[in-house]
């Protein structure tokens, strides 16, 4: 498909507005951060060039290693649950009719709630004494308390993320499924293919493009998760739900270490970039 596109360098003019708008708000801040990351900022007009010093410091920081490990486990769990669940949900949404409309509107609701509100709702919703989820769990005799037990806190943040973001995967997968032309299914029926074979050999390959974007979005967004756990658990108890963003903010705002925080941000950015790049190439069309 890509080989069929005619070469036309003037197409750059079409891309120019995007380049200007994105570069303006992305490159300027990025360069500022690079600038900070190699300086020791002592005051508004006082800065000393320190080279790679901050990078050396943060790469040796054991707290950062802990946060990175928690982050990797969390993001892996997010992807492992949300992508398959989103696909199964998409398969369950009817093709048309009011039931399809209803399912789409209801599914999309969590996506439309501002992130701090998501955290606030769950803060009450998961409370053992006054929240629906916590109350029901407690009634079943489960010793559940997300503000005391690290495991409970971690699982609550994960369940909250699944609640919040699986609909995105489901909506995208649903749209991809609807784009598959009917003749593909007819051919499969003639061949007597099983439901699983239809999914494995027709639906899944046709969803590849859309699933790639869903995977990339969930990977980068869950890697940068901040507002929701900040409101729900504040990173605790202890450091159970202190993911990378949370730790970075503590460093940047709490300790006024702008230099190391900037170096940290860049390393953080490069890790996300690397993971996305690997995933992108893994998911790309083999041709």
Smallest distance from another protein to CB 140, Å = 15
Nearest of 182, 156, 38, 165 to residue 113 by alpha carbon: 165
Q: Please report, to the nearest 10 degrees, the dihedral formed by the alpha carbons of residues 61, 63, 64, 68 taken in order.
A: 140
Binding another protein (rule: CB under 8 A), the pick from 80, 179, 187, 197 is: 179
- Residue numbers 75-94 binding another protein by CB under 8 A: 85, 88-89, 91-93
273 binds another protein (CB under 8 A): yes
283 binds another protein (CB under 8 A): yes
Q: Are 119 and 230 spatial neighbours (Cβ–Cβ below 8 Å)?
A: yes
Binding another protein (rule: CB under 8 A), the pick from 104, 137, 155, 279 is: 104
Which of the 8 DSSP states describes residue 131? -
Select the span of 59-67, 72-80, 149-157, 167-175 touching another protein (CB under 8 A).
Answer: 167-175
Select the span of 7-15, 57-65, 74-82, 142-150 touching another protein (CB under 8 A).
Answer: 7-15
Q: How many residues bind another protein (CB under 8 A)?
A: 108
190 binds another protein (CB under 8 A): no
42 binds another protein (CB under 8 A): no
217 binds another protein (CB under 8 A): yes
- Residue numbers 240-259 binding another protein by CB under 8 A: 244-245, 248-249, 252-253, 258
Smallest distance from another protein to CB 15, Å = 5
73 binds another protein (CB under 8 A): no
Query: What is the DSSP annotation of 242-283?
Result: --HHHHHHIIIIIS--HHHHHHHHHHHHHHHHHHHHHHHHHH
Whether omega for the bond prior to residue 237 falls within 30 degrees of 0, making it cis, is yes
Binding another protein (rule: CB under 8 A), the pick from 49, 62, 130, 256 is: 130
Cα distance between residue 123 and residue 227, in whole Å: 13
Residue 9: strand, helix, or coil: coil
Whether omega for the bond prior to residue 29 falls within 30 degrees of 0, making it cis, is no
Smallest distance from another protein to CB 258, Å = 8
Q: Are 81 and 159 spatial neighbours (Cβ–Cβ below 8 Å)?
A: no
């Amino acid at each position: 498909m890509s080989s069929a596109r005619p070469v036309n360098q003037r197409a750059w003019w079409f891309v120019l507005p995007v380049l200007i708008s994105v570069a303006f708000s992305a490159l300027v801040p990025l360069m500022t951060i690079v600038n900070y990351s190699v300086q020791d900022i002592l005051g508004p007009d006082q800065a000393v060039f320190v080279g790679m010093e901050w990078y050396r410091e943060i790469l040796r920081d054991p707290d950062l290693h802990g946060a990175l490990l928690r982050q990797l486990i969390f993001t892996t769990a997010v992807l492992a649950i949300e992508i398959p669940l989103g696909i199964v949900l998409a398969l369950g949404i009817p093709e048309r009719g009011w039931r399809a409309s209803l399912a789409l509107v209801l599914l999309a609701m969590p996506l439309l709630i501002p992130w701090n509100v998501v955290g606030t709702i769950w803060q009450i919703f998961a409370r053992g004494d006054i929240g629906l989820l916590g109350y029901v769990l407690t009634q079943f005799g489960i010793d559940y308390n997300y503000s005391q037990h690290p495991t409970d806190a971690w699982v609550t943040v994960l369940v909250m993320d699944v609640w919040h973001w699986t609909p995105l995967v489901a909506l995208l997968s649903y749209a991809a499924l609807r784009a598959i032309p009917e003749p593909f299914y007819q051919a499969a029926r003639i061949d007597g293919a099983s439901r699983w074979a239809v999914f494995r050999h027709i639906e899944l390959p046709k969803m590849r493009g859309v699933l790639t974007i869903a995977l990339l979005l969930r990977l980068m967004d869950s890697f940068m998760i901040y507002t929701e756990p900040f409101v729900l658990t504040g990173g605790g108890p202890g450091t159970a739900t202190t993911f990378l963003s949370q730790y970075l903010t503590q460093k940047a705002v709490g300790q006024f270490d702008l230099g190391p925080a900037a170096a940290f941000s860049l390393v953080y950015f490069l890790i996300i970039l690397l993971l996305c790049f690997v995933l992108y190439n893994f998911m790309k069309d083999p041709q």
